[in-house]
Amino acid sequence: MKENLVLIGNGMAGMRTIEELLKLAPEKYNITVFGEEPYGNYNRIMLSPVLANEKTIDEIMLNDEQWYKDNGIGLLKGIEATEIDRVNRDVVGSDGTRVPYDRLIIATGSTSFMLPLPGADKYGVIGFRDIVDVDTMVEASQQFKKAVVIGGGLLGLEAANGLMKQGMDVTVVHLMDSLMERQLDKPAAAMLKKSLEERGMNFLLEHVTDEILDEERVTGLRFKNGEEIDTDLVVMAVGIKPNFTLAQESGLHCERGIVVNDTMQTFDPNIYAVGECVQHRGTTYGLVAPLFEQAKVAANHLAEYGIGRYEGTVTSTKLKVTGIDLFSAGDFTGDETTDELVFQDKATGTYKKLIVKDNRILGSVLYGDTVDGTWYFQLMKEGTDISAFRNTILFGQAHLGDSGHGEETRVAAMPDDAEICGCNGVCKGNIVKAITDDKLFTLDDVRSHTKASASCGSCTGLVESLLAHTVGGDYEEAPSKKPMCGCTSHTHEEVRKGIFEQELKTMDAVRSYFGWTTPDGCPACRNALNYYLLSSWPIDYQDDPQSRFINERAHGNIQKDGTYSVVPRMFGGLCTPSDLRTIADVADKYEVPEMKVTGGQRIDMFGVKKENLPDMWKDLTDAGFVSGHAYGKAMRTVKTCVGDTWCRFGTQNSTGLGVKLEELTWGSWMPHKFKLAVSGCPRNCAEATIKDFGVVCVDSGYELHIGGNGGIKVRVTDLLCKVETEEEVLEYCGAFCQLYREDAHYLERTAPWVERVGLAKVKEAVVDDAEQRKALYERFKISQVEPQKDPWKNVADGNNTEEFTPIKLAG
């Protein structure tokens, strides 16, 4: 018969205990969870990115309500546990519910420490601990302009950054003369302060708040030195205090927290406690790594394995502010008995400091370049003698000679118990085991199986290196961790998200917001930014022709001899005698030395001189032709067969459908070249199964295929779905194109994009969710250019092709 287990507190520590217990003894207990908040279990340490608009509440959920149902766990959400009846072994809820227990876990966490200042109880003064606090801050940012954060520690700076991202003018008030004094020495703190000031954050250091000024709500602060500052919101982030009131009222022994032994038991052997509410060996913890270690030990004993012991944790710290890399661990100050190893490069914003005693690391501070933080931390925890590589240790593990060449080798050399993901407490051994046992090949697979890299993302590089090392040639490094270029540390995803969410509509605005290191960017990022802005704001953004490749600026493919090829569009490969005469006349007029029928069913005219391009295109457009975009990162061709119009095997009018698809998709800029095909029967003469979007006609309708590639690395398409009508083909095609346009990196073909994001994501958006599909289709139609319109009517006369008005394509 199952025993009853009750958990008080639906936070990270308590629920990690339940997760670990389910791995060891899934059938041992009937489990009930009291959760004071009306949500499932979410990642509290990711509230800062939520406030900064970098994550949503759904994205930081660790266990949604369905997870509790799937695991047979009773979740009493929105119900506070108000009494522990230790005599009858019951827990009483705020609604009067009584739940019996055989074993009880207390995981009530901590609360914000609120300074006992005059006015601290007024409206507009809050802490920063839960979703309600985030919602309050977001609401305030929509009504008011000025905010003050009291506390220049880790939590305070993250809150200040989030409020700044919400558009508020933020001032951080701090008692000490440097920021994050518990985690940083003064040089690193000074670099951090300078970087945050450049982003627009203000600081009042060595200021002691005396009073919070108020009328109906907070209006300002007065300091001990007599200064005053106006504000509409005050966030207190001066620390946390363990929440052990309920345990104390039940008669459990408490000091600064609920006192527990090495098995996480309280003085009542039937009651365990984990997390920020506990005191272990005289220490309380406020970081996530110790909480997860405690959870594993508690689960071990609740499962009656009885072999786990918690002996304390050496902690490390990372700041969750996008674009600022900071790592701190252990004793970073040292004394007269220790040595300081320091590397500093102000030009690149890099600072590294190790505190060493007897050739063993006691602590570290890293700013700017934190890639070796995990390695230093592991050396510190293990007490490794570094004398053999002390001279090069500041240059990182990649400089250990034959034992290390790059991050892949570096992470491979770590022991299995090295922590890779601090947010979720995932070690290297667990990740490697999941990759091997569950046959994982992508970053998303690892995230879903282990939660590593699923939170703040700072360990993504390490996880990808583990993937590369473990599965070898079967893994292709995902571009997610790579910065766009040398001008920025931000990835394509971060930039695209920022452009949309912050409504950045010029390249200058993007470079300013993300802190580009070069004022005008470089050829790589200018082209990418031009596309991202064009695809995000097709109406508001003006295409920049100078931020395009020469082919797109000249409207022709440059050849090896410096001449160009010109390709007029022939919709579906159809043409008339008049069309052919026009092309022949133009070829004669401009002395085209060679013509070729292309694989995409068009006529390509080679050897055209650059100075002839404007006049040649004018003659073609006057005759009704438009560009075939053989030069563009755009829709190129729609290849068709003759279908049931002429072929005895044809099942549908593939040529007619091909023309409709071409009319739908032509004139739309894409992340890369994009090709379509429609085959009139399963014999697939148009090679639809190696195109970006392919249609195979069958008797009962149309098979839709995506993500094919016929180039050097051939990739056969994935079957998206089957539809019955041409109208559905057009809608699904438009929706797929728009999803690709909005999600893929610039210069990423559909084949690697589908492999990176997964077919399931595409199907979810295009096939499963009809509402999202229709919304994508409507957004895509904004990019249409009517075939009868003349996109070349503004082509400049004369020989200066750099003055071409580019073909007017929407995003």
Binding residue numbers for [4Fe-4S] cluster: 641, 647, 681, 685
Alpha helices in 502-558 (DSSP H): 507-513, 523-536, 550-554
Residue pointed to by tokens 């006015």: 119
DSSP, residue by residue, 373-394: HHHHHHHHHHT---GGGGGGGG
Rounded to whole angstroms, how far apart are CA atoms 796 and 805?
A: 7
Q: With CA atoms as reference, report the closest residue to 600 among 707, 686, 697.
A: 686
Rounded to whole angstroms, how far apart are CA atoms 319 and 614?
A: 54
Whether 57 and 41 have beta carbons less than 8 Å apart is answered as no
The strands making up 90-93's β-sheet, listed across from edge to edge, are: 81-85, 90-93, 98-100
Rounded to whole angstroms, how far apart are CA atoms 370 and 327?
A: 6
Q: Helices 12-24 and 288-302, interaxial angle, to 10°?
A: 40
Residue pointed to by tokens 């949309």: 500
Q: Are strands 74-77 and 29-35 parallel, antiparallel or unpaired?
A: parallel
Q: Angle 387-392-394 (CA atoms, 0-180°, nearest 5)?
A: 105
Please give the helix or strand (H or E) that residue 74 lies within, else none: strand 74-77
Annotated binding site: 641, 647, 681, 685
Integer angstrom CA distances of residue 780 from 207, 493, 495, 505, 591: 54, 20, 21, 19, 39
Annotated binding site for siroheme: 685
Rounded to whole angstroms, how far apart are CA atoms 311 and 152?
A: 30
Residue pointed to by tokens 């009222």: 249
Rounded to whole angstroms, how far apart are CA atoms 525 and 511?
A: 10
**Sign (positive or negative) of CA dihedral 587, 588, 594, 598:** positive
Altogether, the residues listed in the chain come to a count of 811
Q: Angle 270-272-275 (CA atoms, 0-180°, nearest 5)?
A: 170
Q: Helices 154-165 and 186-198, interaxial angle, to 10°?
A: 10
Q: Is 83 left (phi over 0), alpha (psi -120 to 50) or beta?
A: beta
Strand partners, 715: 709
**Sign (positive or negative) of CA dihedral 76, 77, 78, 82:** positive
Q: Read off the amino acid at residue 810.
A: A
Integer angstrom CA distances of residue 615 from 631, 758, 774: 18, 46, 41
| Residue 811 in tokens | 């995003």
